[in-house]
Amino acid sequence: MKLKIEYQRATELPDWLLKEVGGDRLLASLLIQRGMKSPEDVRSFLDPTFFKPTDPAEFPGMERAVAMVLAAVREGKRVCVYGDYDVDGVTATVILVTLFRKLGGVVTYHLPDRFKEGYGINQEVIKGLAGRTDLIISCDCGISNYREVALARELGMEVLVTDHHQLPAELPPAEVILSPRLLEDGHQARQLPGAGMAYFLAAAVLNSLQRVEESREFLDLVALAVVADVVPLLGENRFLLQTGLPVLARTGRIGLQQLFKVSGLQAERLIEEDIAFRLAPLLNSAGRLVHARLAAELLLTEQPQEAGQLAGQLAMLNQRRKQLQAEIIAEARQLIGTPANREGIVLYQPHWHQGVLGIAAGRLAEDLQLPVILMSLKDDNCTVTGSARSIPAININQQLKKTARFLEKFGGHAGAAGFSLRREQLTPFSLTIGRILKEEVEQLTDQRIIRVDQELELAEVSLQTYHQLRKLAPFGEQNPKPRFLCYQTEVIARRTLSNKQHQKLVLSKNGVEHHSLWWWSGQREVGGEIDLVYTIGLSYFSGQPSLQLLVEEAINRETVVETVKGRVREAAAALEILDYRQRSKQEIAQLEETGSVYFWEGLKKPERLQLINRYQLTRGKTLVLLSCPPALDILKELILVLAPLRLILAYQGSEPGRSKDFLTRLVGLLKYSIKEKDGLVDLYQLAVLTEQLESTVLLGLKYLQARGLIRFEHLDPRQLLVSRDSSGQLKGSKIFRQGLSDLLQETMAFRRFMLDGAVSKIKKLLS
């Protein structure tokens, strides 16, 4: 498939805009692209103190809703808050339950079981509430439950619906309906999540009681929902997240504090991506695998011990979710094979876990750039449930509508949808939707369009650039993280990480170099010269921030093998290699001179010298190896990136490499992390301190886990969370031990050669 890059060419920047952003042309151009047309637009976008928030009274029906809530509290009515099983539904539920507890009301809550009840209000649950509930308040659901609301009314219960989903043709017969969709088109609050609507109800009630400031206590929950529900980050949603993130970072909720701990988050660094990739998956794991009540109780509890236990349960569930997701994706890839033609993917396996189908389908759709439908069989052995994910050019919800005759129910939007059907309809549905998707895919041109914001040369990228771009944050739906393009970028060095799942690239143009990571790129070949699509991020090593480019796409201009090998040969041929391997420490200490850089990895640092490691590189005329790199690839990367004229071999003695030595050091480092850092571990730091490859460290962790000594999970491809495992259960450790031994032997063999080999042979190896 061909790749086409589209972006808006340079536009004229008005003087008033440049004045607003202090002359920053990059920031000004990005604001123009985001629709800023006046100084007022810019100020309210960048600074929430200039934004005029929505008054709760603007929502139709709010006055009556407040009266219902206050009457229920005053008269001691029994209230049930009816929510949903995702983060939006759980946080909305917690907001309203907490509100009633604040006011001294009588309140319970119900969150549906994803597997037994499905989404929305359930008739059997309504029947069960009759006689013990006077008022039902729905949140993040209810707007499409006409029959269920009517049933509740017939059974003598009042109903207050708060929801944010698309309005149906006929609204349910509730006493009051609160929905941002009832606001006029274009209203700044029309795209609120369900928790946002619950928040405005709570704020209106507290305002009426002259307790205005107390509503701020809910902003941490609203921030979670805004990000997790992927609503547009514009208008009210942007304002709520801008003001909610600091509240979340300083949250007083014990449950959230424990969630920070098990997810390895540091409050002072909290950004919206931490919600999307760490907090939200943890909270969602409850509803996906067991029951959303676990997440709600975590957010409601005021007991530290209970909060710790619940957060630990969510961490284990999330780890299980990741495992199930990986298994489904791997099995799906096997079923897909290598298709002869591009067409939609429609797969059914009865044993696939229903709660993980959507995430797996999303990953496959992104990787394959095709619409994907995954289905499994419910426990009743009669109902097939499915999740669909799509690409921008194909509206998956519209395609599902064409098969409505086969479906029991379905719903969603352009990019994602869910549905269910009777088992006997599986074959005709699969054939029909497969044909429809094939026709849709065939109509697409054989190219993928990559949209970027603008060109940005590597020389224009710095830490200051990163911090300036953060003024546009929080990033998300309809306010994406800026993507840049740099033509004819040179790949100086490249190596794979984490069992060849990711790649580390050193990129250069016009003498400016940047380190970059390309997550989940596997072993995709990268040319010696590429057109680079990237975003800008921060990396932390030993607590110190450094700039890091994140590769979104690399479009080859030439093949990689000869180009990179050729550069290595050229660099090695011009390199003067001096042998200090048998010199004394005093002689090595005398090597210190201007223009020298000192490579060292291990536990006990040499004194006085300014040291670098494989992740912290800087140019120098002389490269002094105080320790030996663990592999030839890393040594080549050092030479290519640093471009030294001289290489001094100054390492001595045998390097740690035996399995026993390595594991002893690794266990010691893990014990320290568990005791002092709540188990948060940086894979890169472990690799440096153990003087081994990242893949060796990962295999060591897997071995220790298989021995029943530790448990660990990936927070992201680099950050890990490790805890003790006292079970002592062996889980097939022999295969990991053998693989670990093989990797360590390879490193030891390389280091023996580097320690004993003649300088001429080392130079030949580099060539």
The pLDDT tens digits of the residues spanning 289-306 come to 999 999 999 999 999 999
Burial 439-448 (b: 16+ CB within 10 A, else e): ebbeeeeeeb
Residue 744 has pLDDT above 80, yes or no: yes
- Are 521 and 366 in contact, with CB atoms under 8 Å apart? no
Instruction: Give, in order, the Cα–Cα distances in Å from 305 to each of 257, 309, 723.
Output: 12, 6, 17
Q: How far is the C-alpha of 139 from the C-alpha of 194, rounded, in Å? A: 6
- Residue 646 is encoded by which pair of tokens? 């001289």
Least confident window among 278-282, 434-438, 603-607, 691-695: 603-607
Region 341-351: what's the mean pLDDT? 91
Percent of the chain with pLDDT over 90: 69
**Who has greater pLDDT, 563 or 167?**
167
Of the candidates 96, 123, 116, 91, which has an alpha carbon nearest to the alpha carbon of residue 108? 96
User: What is the pLDDT, as a whole number, of residue 660?
Assistant: 79
Instruction: Give, in order, the Cα–Cα distances in Å from 549 to each of 358, 438, 483, 533, 558.
Output: 29, 37, 11, 10, 21
Of the candidates 632, 657, 649, 636, which has an alpha carbon nearest to the alpha carbon of residue 748? 657
Region 194-219: what's the mean pLDDT? 97
Of the candidates 740, 324, 366, which has an alpha carbon nearest to the alpha carbon of residue 521? 366
Of the candidates 132, 134, 139, 110, which has an alpha carbon nearest to the alpha carbon of residue 122? 110
Identity of the highest mean pLDDT range in 5-14, 351-360, 565-574: 351-360
Sequence-separated (6 or more) residues with CB below 8 Å from residue 697: 666, 683, 686, 687, 690
500: left (phi over 0), alpha (psi -120 to 50) or beta: left
Confidence of residue 754 (pLDDT cuts 50, 70, 90): very high
Sequence-separated (6 or more) residues with CB below 8 Å from residue 169: none
Residue 558: Cβ within 10 Å count: 11
Of the candidates 14, 187, 152, 12, which has an alpha carbon nearest to the alpha carbon of residue 80? 152
Instruction: Give, in order, the Cα–Cα distances in Å from 568 to each of 153, 505, 565, 754, 763.
Output: 78, 15, 5, 17, 11
Least confident window among 8-22, 65-79, 581-595, 696-710: 581-595
Burial 212-250 (b: 16+ CB within 10 A, else e): eeebebbbbbbbbbbbbbbbbbbbbbbbbbbbbbebbbe
Confidence of residue 558 (pLDDT cuts 50, 70, 90): low
Residue 567 has pLDDT above 70, yes or no: no
Region 205-222: what's the mean pLDDT? 97
Residue 557 has pLDDT above 80, yes or no: no
Q: How far is the C-alpha of 642 from the C-alpha of 638, rounded, in Å? A: 6
Type of residue at 272: E
Residue 202 has pLDDT above 50, yes or no: yes
Mean pLDDT of the chain: 91
Give 518-581 as a DSSP string.
ETT-TT----SEEEEEEEEEEEEETTEEEEEEEEEEEEESS-SHHHHHHHHHHHHHT-EEEE-T
Residue 652 has pLDDT above 90, yes or no: no
What are the tens digits of pLDDT across the range 423-480?
999 999 999 999 999 999 988 877 778 899 999 999 999 999 999 999 999 999 999 9
Residue 99 has pLDDT above 70, yes or no: yes
Residue 256 has pLDDT above 50, yes or no: yes
- Are 169 and 193 in contact, with CB atoms under 8 Å apart? no
Q: Which domains does the chain have, with CATH numbers?
A: 2-35+452-565 (2.40.50.460), 56-245 (3.90.1640.30), 250-334 (no CATH), 338-449 (3.10.310.30), 574-653 (no CATH), 659-753 (1.10.10.10)
β-bridge mates for residue 109, sequence order: 81
Give 56-105 as a DSSP string.
GGGSTTHHHHHHHHHHHHHTT-EEEEE--SSHHHHHHHHHHHHHHHHHT-
Q: How far is the C-alpha of 583 from the C-alpha of 581, rounded, in Å? A: 6
User: What is the pLDDT, as a whole number, of residue 605?
Assistant: 82
Instruction: Give, in order, the Cα–Cα distances in Å from 751 to each of 587, 648, 663, 757.
Output: 22, 15, 18, 10
- Are 747 and 693 in contact, with CB atoms under 8 Å apart? yes
Region 346-369: what's the mean pLDDT? 94
pTM of the model: 0.88
User: What is the pLDDT, as a whole number, of residue 562?
Assistant: 46
Residue 588 has pLDDT above 80, yes or no: no
Region 39-62: what's the mean pLDDT? 97
Question: Is the bond preceding 656 in cis, omega lying within 30 degrees of 0?
Answer: no
